[in-house]
Structure 1
Amino acid sequence: MHLGVFEVASPQVGGTLSWSHPWSDSVRHREVGHWIEVARLLEDAGFDFLFFADGYGYPSVGGDLPEAAARGGLNFSGIDPMLLIPALAHATSRLGFVVTSSTGIDHPVAMARRFATLDHLTGGRIGWNVVTGASQDTVAALFGHERMTAHDTRYEIAEEYVDLCLKLWEGCWEDEALVEDKEAGVFADRDRLHRVEHEGRHFRSSGYFTVVPSRQRTPVLFQAGTSARGREFAAAHAECVFLQGTTLPHAAGNVADIRARAAAHGRDPRSVKVLVGATVTVAATREEALARRAEFEALQTDEVAAVIYAGNTGIDLTALDPDRPLSQVLEPGADARIGQMGQSNIDRFRRPDGTMPLVREVLAELRGRGTRGFTVVGDPLEVADQLEEIVDVTDVDGFLLEAVFSPADHRLFCELVVPELRRRGRLPREQDRPAGSGTLRERLGAPSARLAPDHPGARHAAALRGTGPGTREPVTA
């Protein structure tokens, strides 16, 4: 199993409420020392990476911030986790770091520069969770946009955005371009640098990428959308896909669909790692674990569930008919913004036959679960059994753990579950990992630190090699 931890640099994670409980330490999210403790804990336990969700948005009901969101710290308030990563990388040596960044905010050149820098500063341990946005209505207003960009158009923009980033990372510097010969006074071989020319529908760029190639060149590409358009984007570009499973059949269907789509794009479907969210409550005994879970559930209310769901989807569940299906929000005459944001958190409730549960049923599920994935509760043996069942039935490659009491839940998992999974052969010991697996891409099972040859971004490197030394032909679309 591959293991990561899902976190946010804010009081709350996972669409639920728990920051105010004495067992939670997430109010320390503005302290770098807090995150260093978490990173070292995960590294010592052999986790693959620490994942930071991020975004500029917040819950909005009726076009404004609900009082309940501010009072409860519900997806409101937070800092930029990208700025934490150099400090966390300095305090660790093996743990990877994945950070969310949207394709709907700034220019690809700026994004490419930031992630190339992070790949240098982490020694090749960085990943980019590519998102098209979250809470798009509030983000559009914050950035002065006239209107929210439509769901499928955001993916069209993301396709071009990622492709331009790939051109910059892979298509400007040949492998031998960096010389750094002090005696000869030569920093770079000009004949091995190639101008990037991009004239697209949404972006233009002409020039040279100024950051020298890092260990991975391209960060490991993550993607978390499970709408049909999101799965297609993931199949084409993502190296690691994050799903939120509601049932074993639902998760298995999404995994199979992503792998089939990847194969249709000419990629090895097994090279796309698929992880699913899991909230694990573990203790030495089952009774203690159930009591711990009960402490969490006692904090949850319909108000909490509704406010956070509104922030993700634009849907105010309390304003809907509770005895009609959730699909009422997609009927003619409904708010046109619905379905244009947080589509994955609408589709997650869609049953195999295409129907949706009643609104009251959605609220009941969200009340204890929020936007989290599978719920796993028990003693160490029971938890290990459940995680193994999820892997074996759904064909996922591992988990993103979503703590309810952070970082206390991480500590319990590391102390109680990791040794059991290692005993069962589901997790390797650090000394058993292949030599040379120092980058995040290699840690996730890739044969090298670079993009796989069948990844669409590799064509830019291939085109670069095809131009050969001594030429200055531009790398174009």
Structure 2
Amino acid sequence: MHLGVFEVAAPQVGGTLSWSHPWSDSVHHREVEHWVGVAQLLEAAGFDFLFFADGYGYPSVDGDLPDAAVRGGLNFSGLDPMLLVPALARATERLGFVVTASTGVDHPVAMARRFATLDHLTGGRIGWNVVTGASQDTVAALFGHETMTAHDTRYEIAEEHVELCRRLWEDCWEDGALVEDKAAGVFADPRRLHRVEHRGTHFRTSGYFTVPPSPQRTPVLFQAGSSDRGRAFAARHAECVFLQGTTPAHAARNVADIRGRAAALGRDPASVRVLVGATVTVAETSAAASERRAEFEAMQTDEVAAVVYAGNTGIDLTALDPDQPLDRALAGAGSSRVGQMGQSNIDRFRRPDGTTPLVREVLAELRGRGTRGFTVVGDPGEVADQLEELVEVTDVDGFLLEAVFSPADHRLFCDLVVPELRRRGRLPAPGALPGPTLRQRLGSPGPRLPGGRRDRDRVDGPAPVA
């Protein structure tokens, strides 16, 4: 069972309210020692990685930032987690780090350079959670774009973005190109460097990638979208997929679909690791765990749920007819933005027959859940039972834990649940962890991206871009 922790360098995670509770220490998210403590806790417990969600956007209703988002710190305020990674890597030895970065903001050359640098600085423990963006209307305005890029077009951009990054990482430097021979005075062998030429629909580049090959070359590629286009993208590119499931049956369908698409593309479907979000509330006794969960639920309101959902989708649920099914209410809203932002947060509510619940039912489900995945509550044995059942029913490979009260919930899980899972053979003994790279930690036989360098794509001679 693979385990990661889902965090943000912000007041709280998961589209819910919790930072102001005495049990939460997330107000310290701007202090590096806060994150060093979290990273060292997870490493000692044998977690595979610490995952940071990230984005430039914020909730927007009628084109502006809602007062409720500011007052509650609801998906508003946050640091760039990528800058935390070198400090956390320095304080740990084996823990992996996954950072979210959008293909809709930076040029692939800039993205490739940052992740190659992080792979060097972490000794091969970095992963890239590839997203096409979120809160697209606010991001478009922040970056001076006149219009928001359509959902499917964002995935076209992402396909080209990732392909170009992979060429920069894999095809420019041959193995052995970096010499660093002091006696001979040779840093690198020019015969083993190859120019990368790319003339695409969305990006162009001509030249050499300046960062020498890192331990993994390509960071471990994560993907977190569950729309139809998102699953297609995951099947082609992702090594690890992060899903949010409303029900076990919903998650199982998504897992089977992704694995089936990967197999159709010639990939081993079992090589695609699929993890699902889980909010675990655990205590020594079942009653104490339920009381702890009740403390959290008492803080949640329809306003909290609506503000966060608006930030992810551009849709204000409180402005819709509460007695209409979600899809019908959205159609009646007549907004061209509907379905273009956070499509996963619309599709996740669809029933097997394609229909959606009433708007009031969506609000009720979001209240206390937000954008989180499964809810698991109980004593250590009950929690382990529920996690094992989810693995068996859905075919997921593990979980990203989304704390209610951070980092206190992480400590409780490490102290109470990890020993139980290890006793059941669901987690390896601390001394038996694979490695040292994140890719090996997640089950790959070596540190490099399967398939290695793709010489068929390489261009040796200079050919300036027209």
Taking structure 2 as the reference length, what is the TM-score of the superposition?
0.98
Provide the C-alpha distance between the structure 2 equivalents of 1:264 and 1:367, rounded to a whole number of angstroms. 39
Q: What amino acid maps onto 1:441 in structure 2?
A: R
Partner of 2:321: 321
Instruction: Please name the residue that 1:460 is paired with.
Output: 454
Tell me the equivalent position of 1:451.
449
Corresponding residue number in structure 2 for 1:232: 232
State how far apart, in whole Å, the 2-side matches of 1:233 and 1:329 are: 29
Q: Deviations over 1:8-63 (max 9, x none)?
A: 00001001000000000000000000000000000000000000000000000011
The corresponding residue for 1:331 is: 331
Q: Distance in 2 between matches of 1:305 and 1:129?
A: 25
CA contact (8 A) 1:19 1:405 kept: yes
Q: Give 3-state SS (helix, strand or coil) of 2:454's partner.
A: helix
Q: CA deviation at 1:459?
A: 5.7
- CA shift in 2, pair 1:300/1:261, >3 Å: same
Q: Is the 8 A contact 2:320 2:333 kept in 1?
A: no
Contact 2:206 2:464 in 1 (8 A): no
Deviations 1:296-324 (A, max 9, x none): 00000000000000000001000000000
- 1:351-382 per-residue CA deviation (whole Å, 9 max, x = no partner) reads 00000000000000000110000000000000
1:265 aligns with 2:265: yes
Helix, strand or coil at the partner of 2:276: strand
Structure 1 partner of 2:436: 438
How many angstroms apart in 1 are the aligned matches of 2:341 and 2:381? 39
Cα displacement (A) at 1:472: 5.0
Q: What are the equivalent positions in structure 2 for 1:322-401 lying under 5 Å apart?
A: 322-331=322-331, 334-401=334-401
Q: 1:461 to 1:31 in 2, by over 3 A?
A: farther
> CA shift at 1:328, angstroms?
2.3
Query: Following the alignment from structure 2 to structure 1, what is the Cα–Cα distance between the partners of residues 172 and 350?
Result: 44
Cα distance per residue 1:118-147 (max 9 Å; x no partner): 000000000000000010000000000000
Instruction: For residue 265 of structure 1, report the CA deviation from its aligned partner.
Output: 1.1
Read off the aligned partner of 2:442 and give its amino acid letter.
L
> Identity of aligned pairs, percent?
80
Which ranges in structure 1 are unaligned for 5 or more consecutive residues? Answer: none
Check whether the contact 1:238–1:272 (CA below 8 A) recurs between aligned residues: yes
Q: Which residue of 2 aligns with 1:126?
A: 126
TM-score normalized by the length of structure 1: 0.96
Q: For the structure 1 residues 180 and 119, does the alpha-carbon distance in structure 2 shift closer, same or farther, using more than 3 Å as the test?
A: same
* Equivalent in the alignment of 1:210: 210
SS in 2 for 1:331: helix
Task: Determine the C-alpha separation between the residues in 1 that align with 2:322 and 2:265.
Answer: 42
Which residue is 2:37 aligned to?
37
Match in the other structure for 2:298: 298
Q: 1: distance between equivalents of 2:368 and 2:431?
A: 39
**Residues 327-371 of structure 1: CA distance to partner in whole angstroms, max 9, x if unpaired?**
025426610001000000000000000000000000000001100
C-alpha separation between the residues in 1 aligned to 2:332 and 2:288? Answer: 49
Q: Distance in 1 between matches of 2:162 and 2:455?
A: 15
Give the distance between the partners of 1:396 and 1:417, measured in 2 at CA: 18
Counterpart-to-counterpart distance in 2, 1:461 and 1:2: 33
- SS of residue paired to 1:368: coil
Give how far 1:166 is off.
0.4
Q: Counterpart of 1:253?
A: 253
Report the RMSD for the aligned CA atoms in angstroms: 1.4
| 2:174–2:193 CA contact under 8 A, matched in 1 | yes
Whether the aligned pair in 1 keeps the contact of 2:115 and 2:219 (CA below 8 Å) is yes
Q: What residue in structure 2 maps to residue 135 of structure 1? A: 135
Q: How far did 1:290 drift?
A: 0.2
- Shift of residue 433 of structure 1? 2.6
Alignment correspondent of 1:307: 307
Check 1:475–1:238 CA distance in 2 against 1; reply closer, same or farther (3 A cut).
Answer: farther
CA distance in structure 1 between the aligned counterparts of 2:339 and 2:453, rounded to whole angstroms: 34
- The amino acid of 1:354's aligned partner reads G
1:74 maps onto 2:68 in alignment: no
Once structures 1 and 2 are overlaid, which stretch shifts more, 51-60 or 333-342? 333-342
Which blocks of at least 5 consecutive residues in structure 2 are unaligned? Answer: none
Aligned length: 465
- Deviations 1:74-94 (Å, cap 9, x if unpaired)? 000001000000000000000
Instruction: Give matches, 1:48-63, under 5 Å.
Output: 48-63=48-63
Deviation for aligned residue 1:460:
2.4
Q: Name the SS for the 1:64 alignment partner.
A: coil
Measure the CA separation in 1 of the matches of 2:21 and 2:163. 44
SS of aligned partner of 1:280: strand
User: What is the identity, as a one-letter code, of the residue corresponding to 2:397?
Assistant: D
